[in-house]
Structure formats: structure tokens, C-alpha cells
Structure 1
Amino acid sequence: MYKFETKNKKPLYVQLYEQIKEDIINNYQLEEKLPSIRKVMTTYNISKNTVEAAYSQLVIEGYIESFPKKGYLVISNEFQNFKTKDLDTKPYKEEEIRYDFFPAKLHKDTFPLKLWKRIYSKALDETIELGMYSDKQGEYSLRVELAKYLNHSRAVNCSAEQIIMTNGFADSLSILAMLFNNKIKNFSIEKPGYHVARKVFLNHNYNIDDIPINKEGIDIEKLQNGFSSLLYVTPSHQYPTGVTMPIANRMKLLTWAENTNSYIIEDDYDTELSYFNKPIPSLQGLDLKERVIYFGTFSKALSPALRVGYLVLPKQLIEKYKQEFIYHACRVCLITQKTLELFMKEGFWEKHLRRVRTINKKKHNLMKNQLEEKLGSTIKIEAQGGGLAILINPKVELNWQKLEKLAQKEKIKLHYTKERTNNNWQALMMGFGSFKEEEIEKAVSAFSKIWFESIN
């Protein structure tokens, strides 16, 4: 006899199916007949639909089969255990941190949540095509708005047809790595430089040539003596040193690209968060021979969680992309694209940028003042004036290992350039973007205590 519990959350047909299956495995012989649907209905006073659903599941799993004039017969009584182990339902416990100086994080209040929700609702109307695949390069109307913005803010010469919307930094570089993979095998990058860029091209089996940085940016003489025909560079705000490449060197770089039939990948890093100087126009805007590939993201100024980036390809590469990436689908959510389009079209993007610059300029100045006040002559500021972090180094002998141990003990999260670059150049990245203004003094005070304890 089968038992049914009315208070059980499982539907009746599931309870019946499970009990019959167990009965088949333990008691039935092959080709033995099951009770008819009608008999089970009358025996247990349950509906025909309930019994049919249970029998149907047993048929699907291969335990029984229906035969004309014979009814349901057992065709397999081998044990099949589809049960999973009990999952660990313990709540995830995050590491307890008092102060996190992460160098690339915005405070959650920086995001215009109410405005974004309103525009999101406006974008999600009956005109949006959710039943079809979106444009492979990204929504054309969004690319039109982005082209307008890049042209007047960064002097980028492009049209919407040259833009590809991407899922962020790594996605952009992966597309480029695949685009050149059959033609170019050697890739140059600044040293120190962003480790993710290096890793992406290593993953695509490129040979890497690290070109040193000097006070004017990448060492062009070393580049000219190198073997690469593809270069990744951050000319407007070098990562991580903050060096800006002067116009003379920019022109030399473009001449190198033209003479060697090479391409330059320009990462316009942190230019939207420049606090004291007007950002220098893009390298791409100076390029008359279409040797520069420009790219950026919305991560620093809007939100890294949205995963929105973009590539601006020279016209000849756009044609190559269209031919070789027929399979490619845009990896940015359609509704996110439509929301961002309206956000830009209605003027909210530039207003937001001004607001973000104002907020983070104050935080930048607070962080700098607190570092100078509390650490005094023991530090050298390596990079400042842009982005979401100030880089510092000790001017005294410092025990770095002791500093890290004390930081862990005091629940202070520190971040070092060694972790995020491709060489051993060391500096502390004192991120301020994730703090509220009133938290910065307390955070630096806590840091200063372990800093002085770590001085030899």
C-alpha cells in the first residue's frame, strides 16, 4: 500500500511516482504488470491525471512501458539514483574587512540608481525586440550616441559603424587577440603595465615583449628595436605610474606604427576621472593612417557590474571583423544597451560624469591630505590626480611583510602594484573611491598605525 501525505510539499503524482519506482526496484520482476490506472484511482481515491502523470514519469525514465491489451509492464528494474547530495546551505561568510583600499571601486551611492531604474523602465517598452538576436556589434542607436560622445570628449574620429560593444576590458582584448591571431604572433606591452592585458594575449599564445616605461611613457627606442607589430599602450594616464605621454612621443609612436605596418591598441585608462587637468585628446584622434585601435569601458565612471565596454576599430579592421566574426554575438544585455542609450541621449551621462568627478575629486584631495598629514616625510607620492587611487611608496626602510601581516590582523585590505602589473615595481595603491568622505580620515589613521609599526 502506498501512503500519501496531504501536508507534504511534493505533489501527489510525485509521491505516487516515487513509491511505485521504489516498489519496482525492490519487488517487481521484468515484464511483470503494474495495476491499471483505473485500479490505482479507485484504490487510493486519487484522480486519473495524478496516476497518469506518475506513470508517464516512469515511462520517461525507462522503468515501464505501455503495451496494447497488456497494460503497463516493467521493462527495467535496475536502480537509478537521481538524488543529489545535500547541498551545503550555510550562508556565505565574507571576509571581515574594516577598511578596503581597493583601487578600482566606486561607492554604491555613486551609481544613479533611481534614475537608472526610471530609464530602464522607459527602455523596456513594447518596441524592444526580445524575441530576436540583437545586432552583433551592439545596438546601432547606442553606438551612434557613443560615437558622438567620444568625438567631442576625446577627439576620437569614428562613426557608429566602427564601434563594437563588448562585455568589458578582457572581452575587448580577447576579440582583438582573435582578430590578429592568424597574422600577428608578437605583442608588446608597457612595463610596468596592466597584468590582465598581458594575460589575455598570453592565453591566445602570443609572444610577449615587455617595453619599459620612462618619464615620457613607453620607451619608443626600445619599442623600435623590438619584434612586435601589435602594441598595447595607456598614453593619457599610464597604468600604474600615471605618466602622460607628450605630443612629440605620440607622433613618434604613430610614425613607428605606419613605418612597420603595426597596430596600436590605445587603452584610454582613467581619462574620464582626471581632476586637475583637462584630459589630453586621444592618440586615435591624431592618427591619419588608421593604425590605432581605441577602446574603453564604463566601469570606472558608471559601474563595473554592468559589464559594458567598447572597441573602435579602423575601417579596414571592421571589415575583417565582419568577415571573421560571423558567429559572434554581442555580450552586453540588450536592455542594458537600450538603457545606456537613453541615459546618454537624454544628457544624463555627461551630468553623471561631472557629478562623479566632483565627488571623487573631493575624496582624492581628502586622501592625499590625510596621507601627507599622517605619514608625512615617510612617503613619496608616485601617482595622483586621476582615477580612484593614489600610489605611494616609502621614503624610509619598510618591512613590507610585516605591513601585510599587521594589515590582516587589523582587518585592513591593502593592494600593491606587484599584484596588478607585469613586473616587480612596487607601490601601495591607496584607493579612495569606495569610501564615504567621512570614512577617509579614520581609514588613513588606522593605516598609519600599522605603517609606522612596519618601519625598520
Structure 2
Amino acid sequence: MKRLPTGLLPSIALEDSGPIYQQLADWFRRAIAEGRLRPGQRVPSTRALAGELGVSRLPVLSAYELLHAEGYLESFSGAGTCVAAAIPHEAPPAPTRRLPRVVAASAALAPRPVAARVAAMASPPQTWLKSQGAFRVGVPALDHFPHAVWSRLLSRHARHVGSDALIYGDTSGHAPLREAIVEYLATVRAVHADTAQLMITSGAQHGLQICAHALLDPGDRAWVEEPGYPSAHQALAAVGAVPVLVPVDADGMDVATGVRRAPTARLAYVTPSHQFPLGATMSAARRIELLQWAARAGSWIVEDDYDSEYRYGGRPITALQGLDTDARVIYVGTFSKVLFPALRLGYLVVPKDLLPAFRAARDALDTCSPMLPQRALHDFIREGHFARHIRRMRMLYAARRAALQAAIRQHLPDALHVVGAEAGMQLTALLAPELDDIALSRRATQAGVSIRPLSPCYRGETRCSGVILGYGNVDEDAIEEGVKRLRECL
């Protein structure tokens, strides 16, 4: 530790680590902001200060140059270097690399104000995410992903990357990829759209945020499923919209109740093919009823089709968007569940008259998604790897779903009541009402098991206790062991 004696300047302390020029610049900023150095006050020459500190003159020169550029110091012929006269006598605190301890302590005691809507966007602590074991929700079979193929495709585009892939891309995404997705959706999901209507997003959640920003104003009411996807509430809270809780039964969202509670709601958010978290499939009657309400009320429907590729009782259910004759449905899809979550690529299918609003909202949020993964994904689809991977995963997940159901029947026949096991990569099991599913998830985390509690998916007063068990990234041996550990936790 080196110190400059008081007299010319207050004491300057240099730490043993970190660039000296940065430490000096930080010290001068703080001293000026706190009034220890006054406007017009002369400071030592670089040579003198370097000698007093016992350091090279170069870092002192660098610090002075930085402070000159920022307007803290100024030089005069024959008068040396002084604190800038333009600095106010009551200067605000200057930005530094680290806050003084007293400031950090006071900030902890008196939190500084943030936007009120942040409280509605915040989610409770998700302790189940701390465990990487069975039964993490939303994670596909990563060890069965064709890593070699994907690496080859990425390398191909990285080696031959052009300048057009290194600049900001089209707000709607890579056109060839959009065309490939449109053809896939038309074949598999009966979605009606052209390439211009499809927008690449950075995942499904990003798609929901774009929908909220493009369609909702503060105070607008929006139907949401109860129980439902918690992150949908976050997207609504971000724009100040008011959620209207609409209950879900075996046929999906109860449209009649939604009409009674908010007949002119601006938007309805639904997961009709595989309701999250209870797993119901919306019946044909409810789908028609929902579409008729949207056309009559002039409202919008956001269809989140997050894992429709995996259905074990036959072909995937036709998308709600494919039944829409009034262009009221915005279709949301993602590659996180079929490929891997870190890819961060999803898509929206938008009615043509809404495209300008959606492009403006998307441009304001993040301009465009990374181009290199989009190009690799285009080849992945066009060369047939995508379809082959889905076929393999459908068989794998069906076997793992059967293994999980068998393990529950063997080890927890009276404790868990399984619902919603016909599709996707997770199933939900109800617990006895007196059991606390959040406490159970915490105990399971300590046992190396990741289970997601059901009750936080409810926002109203009536809640069910249960667990959501993901089986996508868990082999059959780990499924058996995980259920045994869960039995011990219960």
C-alpha cells in the first residue's frame, strides 16, 4: 500500500491490484464530487504525483488524460493542471468502478425506487432449479441431440460467413429459415401462413413479450388460464395489462366463464394443444367457442404451442390457428423443447394486418435474433435432421413417460394422482390437499431431485397441491431412482 502524505492533496491510497491509472482516476472523481478538491484548485504535476506515489509516470499521465477528456481537469499555460472551473460546487457523485462501503450499506437499508410493475413481474424463488437431477421440467434429452451434425452445420456457416451475417439482420429473421418453418407448420400443425407472416424470436417467452407490447395498453384486460404458465403473467405485467383468471377443466379453458368475467377483454392467452400445467387438450367445442368470442369481441388469441410435437396418442392436434377464419390468432412456437433451450430461437405467426405493429414492437425490444444459429437451423431442417430428431425423441419420450408412470404406480400409488400424461415432456401429479408442494420441492432439491410445485401456477385463492415432473432429460434408471427419493421426501 502506497500513500501520498497530506498537504498538497488528501491522502491517496493505491490498492495492490487493479490498474493504477484507473484507481487514480476513480480517486480524483470521488474527491471532486465530495468537495475535497474544489473547482480551480491546482493539482500536482504528473511528475510530482508519480514521485510521491513511487510509481511510473505513465499511469499518472493516463489518469490525467482520462480526467481531462471527461471534463474533471483542465490545464493552463504557466498555471499547471487544475480542477475544472465548470464543476459545480455541489457536484453529484461521480461514477466509479465500485461504490464506497458506506454508500452500499445505506443502499441496503433504504432500497432505491424502481418501477412498480417490477413487483408483478417478479417470480418467487425457484428452488427446484438448483438441482440438475430428475425431474427438471422443460429440458429435452440433451444427450440424444445430434451434436456432431449441429457442430458441422455451425462450422460450415462460421467458416464461410459473409458480411451480411455479421450485421443487423431482418427484424423478422432469416428469410430461408422462415420459409422452412412455414412449410413445416403447414404440414405438421395445419397452420395457414406465408413466409412474410412468420417472425423469428429469441424463444417463446420473447414471443409473448412482443405480443404484449404490440397488442396491449396499460389497463387492458387479458384472459389467462388458471392454473397457467407463470411467465405469461410476467409478459402481461411488463406492459401493465390486467390478467383475468379463467379456470381450466378437462376440456381446456372455460370460455363461458371468461365471457362472464371479461366479455371485452383485449386478448386471451391459451395453451390449447397441451395445457400447462395440467396437460388438458382443448376440445373442439371450446376451440370454436373461443374463436367465435374473439371474432365477436374484436379480441386477439395468443396460442402458445410450446411442445405440440410430442403427442403419444396419435398425430399432433391441429393448431387453433388453422381453424381461425377471422385472423384473430397469433401463433407462438419454440425450438427450446425440440432441440435445446440455449438455442434461444422461436417464432411467431402473425396476421398480416398486425405485421407493422409487431415489427415495431420487436425492433424496440431487441432488433433481431443471432444470424449464425438461424442459418445452421435452416440447414438442419432442410437436410432432414429436424424431422428425424423429432421422430426419435417421440419414441424416447414415450418410453420414459411409461417408465415414470410405472414407477409412480409401484412406489407412490396412493400419494400421487397423475394427470395430463398424454403429451409433452412432463406430467403433473396431484398431492393430498394437506401437503405443501413448495416445502416438498425444497426437500426434494436437498435430495438431488428437481420437482416443480404446482401451486405457484395458480394466481387465485383456490389452489391445488401437486408436482410437475419432467422426464425429457432423465433416463429410465434415473427415473426409478428419482421416484424412490421422492417417496423418501414424502
The 1:167–1:130 alpha-carbon spacing in structure 2 relative to 1, beyond 3 Å, is: same
Alignment of 1:248-267 (within 5 A): 248-267=285-304
Does residue 274 (structure 1) correspond to residue 311 (structure 2)? The answer is yes
What is the aligned counterpart of 2:140 among 106, 124, 132? Answer: 106
Task: Indicate the residue corresponding to 2:335 in structure 1.
Answer: 298
Per-residue deviation, residues 5-62 of structure 1 (Å, max 9, x unmatched): xxx99889889999999xxxx9xx978797798xx9xxx9x99x88965764464466
Contact preservation (8 Å) 1:64, 1:72: no
What is the aligned counterpart of 2:398 among 348, 361, 367? Answer: 361
The 1:35–1:343 alpha-carbon spacing in structure 2 relative to 1, beyond 3 Å, is: same
Contact preservation (8 Å) 1:147, 1:159: yes
Matched position secondary structure for 1:376: coil
Please state how far the C-alpha of 1:151 moved relative to its aligned partner. 0.9
The 1:172–1:11 alpha-carbon spacing in structure 2 relative to 1, beyond 3 Å, is: closer
Contact preservation (8 Å) 2:425, 2:472: yes
Please state how far the C-alpha of 1:279 moved relative to its aligned partner. 0.7
Taking structure 1 as the reference length, the TM-score comes to: 0.79
Task: Indicate the residue corresponding to 1:311 in structure 2.
Answer: 348
Please state how far the C-alpha of 1:322 moved relative to its aligned partner. 4.6
Does residue 237 (structure 1) correspond to residue 271 (structure 2)? The answer is no
Please state how far the C-alpha of 1:313 moved relative to its aligned partner. 0.9
Please state how far the C-alpha of 1:379 moved relative to its aligned partner. 3.1
- Write the letter of the residue equivalent to 2:270: V
- Root-mean-square deviation (Å): 4.4
The 1:51–1:368 alpha-carbon spacing in structure 2 relative to 1, beyond 3 Å, is: closer
Does residue 334 (structure 1) correspond to residue 368 (structure 2)? The answer is no
The 1:438–1:292 alpha-carbon spacing in structure 2 relative to 1, beyond 3 Å, is: same
Please state how far the C-alpha of 1:355 moved relative to its aligned partner. 2.6
Please state how far the C-alpha of 1:405 moved relative to its aligned partner. 6.5
Greater mean deviation of Cα atoms: 174-183 or 344-353: 174-183
Taking structure 2 as the reference length, the TM-score comes to: 0.74
Does residue 218 (structure 1) correspond to residue 253 (structure 2)? The answer is yes
Structure 2 unaligned regions, length at least 5 = 4-15, 30-35, 102-127
Please state how far the C-alpha of 1:319 moved relative to its aligned partner. 4.0
Alignment of 1:317-396 (within 5 A): 317-322=354-359, 327=364, 329-394=366-431
Alignment of 1:58-137 (within 5 A): 59-60=68-69, 65=74, 67=76, 70=78, 72-75=80-83, 82=96, 84=98, 97=131, 99-124=133-158, 125-130=160-165, 132-137=167-172
The 1:81–1:334 alpha-carbon spacing in structure 2 relative to 1, beyond 3 Å, is: closer
Contact preservation (8 Å) 1:263, 1:292: yes
The 1:405–1:158 alpha-carbon spacing in structure 2 relative to 1, beyond 3 Å, is: closer
Identity of aligned residues (%): 28
Q: C-alpha separation between the residues in 1 aligned to 2:267 and 2:46?
A: 74
Please state how far the C-alpha of 1:76 moved relative to its aligned partner. 6.5
Please state how far the C-alpha of 1:404 moved relative to its aligned partner. 5.1
- Write the letter of the residue equivalent to 1:232: Y
- Write the letter of the residue equivalent to 2:487: S
Contact preservation (8 Å) 2:252, 2:272: yes
The 1:64–1:118 alpha-carbon spacing in structure 2 relative to 1, beyond 3 Å, is: same
Please state how far the C-alpha of 1:108 moved relative to its aligned partner. 3.5
The 1:292–1:53 alpha-carbon spacing in structure 2 relative to 1, beyond 3 Å, is: closer
What is the aligned counterpart of 1:414 among 414, 428, 451? Answer: 451
- Write the letter of the residue equivalent to 2:474: F
Please state how far the C-alpha of 1:120 moved relative to its aligned partner. 1.4
Please state how far the C-alpha of 1:80 moved relative to its aligned partner. 8.6
Per-residue deviation, residues 402-439 of structure 1 (Å, max 9, x unmatched): 74565355343332111234341332112222323321
Q: C-alpha separation between the residues in 1 aligned to 2:360 and 2:21?
A: 53
The 1:158–1:441 alpha-carbon spacing in structure 2 relative to 1, beyond 3 Å, is: same
Q: C-alpha separation between the residues in 2 aligned to 1:33 and 1:391?
A: 70
Task: Indicate the residue corresponding to 2:234 in structure 1.
Answer: 199
Please state how far the C-alpha of 1:284 moved relative to its aligned partner. 0.9
Does residue 165 (structure 1) correspond to residue 200 (structure 2)? The answer is yes
Per-residue deviation, residues 359-414 of structure 1 (Å, max 9, x unmatched): 322222211111111123443211212222221124x6764377456535534333
Per-residue deviation, residues 234-266 of structure 1 (Å, max 9, x unmatched): 211122221112323322322222233222211
Matched position secondary structure for 2:199: strand
Structure 1 unaligned regions, length at least 5 = 3-7, 88-93, 452-456
Q: C-alpha separation between the residues in 1 aligned to 2:451 and 2:412?
A: 16
Does residue 440 (structure 1) correspond to residue 479 (structure 2)? The answer is yes
Contact preservation (8 Å) 2:157, 2:372: yes
Per-residue deviation, residues 63-115 of structure 1 (Å, max 9, x unmatched): 765555x495445799999563799xxxxxx9974844222223432443332
